[in-house]
Each structure stands twice: as C-alpha cells, then as structure tokens.
Amino acid sequence: MPSHMPRAEAREPPGAAAVAPSAHKVVIVGGGFGGLNAARMLAGTGCAVMLVDRTNHTLFQPLLYQVATAALSATSIAVPIRSVFRRSPNVSVLMAEVTGVDRERRTVALEGHPPLPYDTLVMATGSVYSWFGHDDWATRAPALKSAADALSLRSRLLDAFERAEAEDDPAEVRRLLTFVVVGAGATGVEMAGSIAELARNTLARDFRRIRPSTARIVLCDAGDRVLAAFPRRLSDYATGRLQRIGVELRLDAGVKALDERGVLAGSERIDAAFVFWAAGTAATPVARWLGIDGNRRGLVAVEGDCTLPGHPEIFVIGDAAALDGPDGRPLPGLGSVAKQQGRHVGRVIAARLAARPSPGPFRYTDWGQLAVIGRSAAVADFGRVRLTGLPAWLVWSAVHLLLLVSTQNRVAVYVNWVSAWLTYSRGARVITEPPRA
C-alpha cells in the first residue's frame, strides 16, 4: 500500500461495509453521476467504500424538468442508492448531511452522526443554482436540482391554472397564466418548451372557464441568443422552434428585479404567477468544507488526476472541480464530465491499492451535447455532425433512455413517452401537496 495513503483510525460508522476492519476506507460524498460511477468502479475491490448522500436516491437530473411539467413521475427517474449496490458488499450507503472535512485527522463531519474516517476522500457534491447575489430571489424564482424541487414546481405550475379557473378578474387571470423562465441554456429552453406543450396540448381540454392554450410563456436571458453553448445554426433552429410553439423570447434582457408579482427583465415589467430560474450555477461549499479558497464560482482547482493540490488522498470531481480540458478551456459542468471523472478516479484509487501504475491524468471525451425543444424537435451537436428536428429528437430520446440507471426506469420512461406522443397527454398532473409560497 502506498505510503501516502495511511489508514484512518476511528470508530466504524453506521452501516459500515462487511469487509475487513483494516480495509482501506474510501468515503465518497455525493450520489450523483460522479460519486455513483466512482463507487461502481470500486465495487468488488478490497477497500471499504462509504457513499454519503443527503438523500437515499440517485437522480437522473437531465429529466427533472419533465417531472416539474407533469410528463414523468419522480420515481421514473430516481433509484434508491442502496439498490444499485445490493450485490456489492464492500459498498455501504449513509444518508447524511456533510458539514465539513478535517484534512489533518482525515474525517468528514456529518450532521447528527459521529465523524466519518477516511483514507481516501472523493468529493462529488455537484453544484447549486446562483441568483447572482440576490439570494432572496430563490423563493420567488425557484430552481431545479432535486426531486423535491421538481414536485414543488409542478404543484406551483398546475396550481396557477387551477387558480385562474376560479378567478373573475381578467387581469389576474392573465397574470396567473403567464410563466417566465429565466435563463436560455438547455434547462431553460427545455423547461419553456415543455410548459408550452403542457398548456397548449395536455391541458387545452381540461378547463371550462379559461383557455390554457392562451397561456403566455416568456423565456428571458441576458445573452443575445438561446443555447449559446451550441453552434449558431442550432441556436437559430431552437429560436424558430420555440417561437413556433408560442414561447416569447426576451434576449439581452437580464433580470433586474423580481417580486411576488413578477419580474423586470431588461426594461420590461412582466407580471407572472410562475417564475423559474435556470440562469446560473455555483459550486456546493466544498472549498469551505476543505478549508481552502475556491475560484470566483466557488470551484476547487484540482490536479490533472482530479486530486487536491498537496493532498493526493482527496479527489474533487464534477461540478465542484475546476479543471481545464485539452484545449485549455475549463471543462463544462455536464453530467458526462462528472461521470467520466468518477470512473477515472475509481481507476486511480484501484490502481493505488493494487500498487499498479496510475492511469495518469484525466482526459475528457466529448460525446457532444443535446437539447430538446418540444415534441419531435431537438438539437444535437456532435462536432462534425449536427442534427435538428426529428432525427435529433430520436437521438436525444435514445441517449437519455440508455443513461437512466435502471431497466425499470427505462421501461417506465419509455412507456410514458410513447403514451404522451400518441395521446398528447401527461399522466402526472396531480397536485399532491400545497404549492410552496
């Protein structure tokens, strides 16, 4: 065993894996793309892996917007983490909230639990949304990062239609049927398109007093085009498609003010009952937990193998890590990056434990990027190959089905998609809890 990876001495945590007490302890914080894949790479090895997450499930975040817009149920894209490692006795799962890291003692501080010892630590905690210094906007313009967020947004979205049905004031009906999405990246475009289809197709025949098809969906962004990370041709296609399904675009119109009645986007006041935030992200408090300075977005600068400088026993991956790609540009905050880094870190740790040569620095393989705009419409950028319309939508559908964690998820999502495509209906239109204020 390499000398720079001493074993931590501390009490065994709850749910410790059924491996030798002297086994090398690997703690992975975060059960998303990065953490899950790192743990999978270490399943069946001789180390004791403890995967810590604040929830008991792993979530396929690229389809969260479909939960929020009543196209899918939350269970269709979530899997209990324990079920993933049911046949991996060296991998244990602990549902807990991380509050800090003691690098000297090599322990992770947990809320309501004793410190968790580690020999190797992998921080894969992802990112959170940023309201650019206006944290008070978070309750008025919620974002989408968890299943709870999606269910709350779905309740708020459907509740707006229900309240409009009971309203007598035409001006208030217009406000209740106005939906603003802030941020024209992939998440914002997908959300705006999905709300438009929900209003114009699914809900069109469900109400008697209001006409859901007249709902106003406004997509705002401080930039000059939608899907700015995509080539101009694909961005232009997305613009035309969004306008075709009734989405109003407000570009070069950053949000200047936001209250319970609506937003000020650029110089235009938009009264709205529903505002969704998809404008920017920041790292989780990994830098603060580690007692170091992050960059301006809170990201942790790492070495080429994703380790913390001066601490080869600590890895930081995914949205929390700042690492440049081969072209010298920072790697994007995509699930594909976190997934590949998780696998790479798993290989590095396994090689160290087996006293094998290291796999070397992390190298990201760019498999392209996708965004769906609506029914049978998407854009796909694979470098030399760029697709729009139905072909891109079919590729988007196939890729997302394959990336889902379990076969059960794939079947559930596929059945829902086929049903929705054939009937223009969405089955998850039930308000199960009062919308959050």
What residues are labeled active site?
Answer: 190
Q: Do 400 and 63 contact (CB within 8 A), yes or no?
A: yes
Determine what percent of the chain falls in helix, strand and coil, rounding each to the nearest 5. 35, 25, 40
Rounded Cα–Cα distance for residues 37 and 343 (Å): 5
Rounded Cα–Cα distance for residues 250 and 328 (Å): 33
Rounded Cα–Cα distance for residues 401 and 409 (Å): 8
Q: Do 77 and 404 contact (CB within 8 A), yes or no?
A: yes
Question: Within 13 A of 227's CA, how many CA atoms are on the CB side?
Answer: 27
Q: Do 101 and 6 contact (CB within 8 A), yes or no?
A: no
Report DSSP state, residue 261. Answer: T
* 276 sits in which H/E element: strand 274-277
Rounded Cα–Cα distance for residues 82 and 93 (Å): 6
Q: Do 47 and 21 contact (CB within 8 A), yes or no?
A: no
